[in-house]
Amino acid sequence: MRAQSKTIALAATALALGAPGAAVAAPCPGADLRPSAGNVLDAAQATICLINRERTRAGLRVLSDETHLRRASGTFARRMVERRFFDHVAPDGSNVVDRLKASGYLSGATSWLVGENIAWGESYLGSPAEIVRAWMKSPGHRANILRASFEDVGIGIALGTPRTADRGATYAADFGRRRPHRVPGTDTTGSTAESLRLTASRRPRPRGSAVVRGAAIERVTFYVNGRQATRLTSPGKDGAFRLRYRAGQLRNGSNRVKAKVKIHPPDGAATLRTLTIRVRR
């Protein structure tokens, strides 16, 4: 297997307008999910849970999952993947305020505050836990998550990334607060924007390998964490079928992988054996 670099990219924006509350932090089911068609809604709820856990630690009110924001963020995340761009301003020039007006979130509001975080991550970096962890390490994104004035949030997750063909996920988090009348002394038209990209450019070095050797082996299929990792139909120069694994590839500190080995001797029928192999470090 060739080693692959993994990338996570972020951007944040906020549009201008504070008030604390309290809640009890709790574990967030689904925080380590890699988003897929079958779990993308669970991943979005896990992201909200993780954001609210950070707010709780800071002594702030938790955010409510808001329908209009959820719809707007989901549409925008999918649009970034489909149109292959990564920015708060879409190719047609529309920004987060335009999107939230179109969604109906700002209908009837004369005083409002909105903000947006976006991110995409490859492979395990696309999990809710990794995305929120990266946001919290970035001052602009952290400021949006911990802005006391926000009351609502909507999370959108699209499968895939805007910049690579590798598996991953693209996130949009829209934050908001709205009032039906103007609050004296507030500015509802100012805006600030910033972007940040974090790239894990160094290739993870192999941490070990699983090796199968033997006579008359036709092919070896290796499975990591229950999923097919690679299928080999010819051995290496040393006569071994070898899977190299990278840091973080095996879950829960496991040091074992499975291999299905098809053996086809010249004078007999083919057989299929399943082996559990201890990874060599």
What integer pLDDT is reported at residue 119 of this predicted model? Answer: 93
CA angle 144, 146, 147 (to 5 degrees): 65
As a whole number, the mean pLDDT across the chain is 77
What integer pLDDT is reported at residue 279 of this predicted model? Answer: 55
Cα distances (Å, whole numbers) of residue 120 to 6, 13, 35, 170, 248:
11, 15, 11, 4, 19
pLDDT (tens digit per residue) in 84-142: 999 998 999 999 999 999 999 999 888 889 999 999 998 888 999 999 999 999 888 99
What integer pLDDT is reported at residue 49 of this predicted model? Answer: 97
What integer pLDDT is reported at residue 197 of this predicted model? Answer: 36
pLDDT (tens digit per residue) in 1-41: 333 445 566 666 655 432 333 334 458 999 999 999 999 99
- The whole-angstrom separation of Cα 146 and Cα 92 is 30
Amino acid letter for position 251: R
Residue 184 has pLDDT above 90, yes or no: no
Residue 195 has pLDDT above 90, yes or no: no
61: exposed, middle or buried (Cβ count in 10 Å: 0-12, 13-18, 19+): middle
Cα distances (Å, whole numbers) of residue 163 to 18, 75, 119, 141:
36, 18, 12, 21
Residue 225 has pLDDT above 60, yes or no: yes
Amino acid letter for position 71: R
- The whole-angstrom separation of Cα 241 and Cα 237 is 10
Phi–psi pair at 162, nearest 5 degrees: -75, -20
As a dihedral over the C-alpha atoms of residue 130, residue 133, residue 135, residue 137, rounded to 10 degrees, the angle is -130
What integer pLDDT is reported at residue 100 of this predicted model? Answer: 93
pTM for this model (two decimals): 0.62
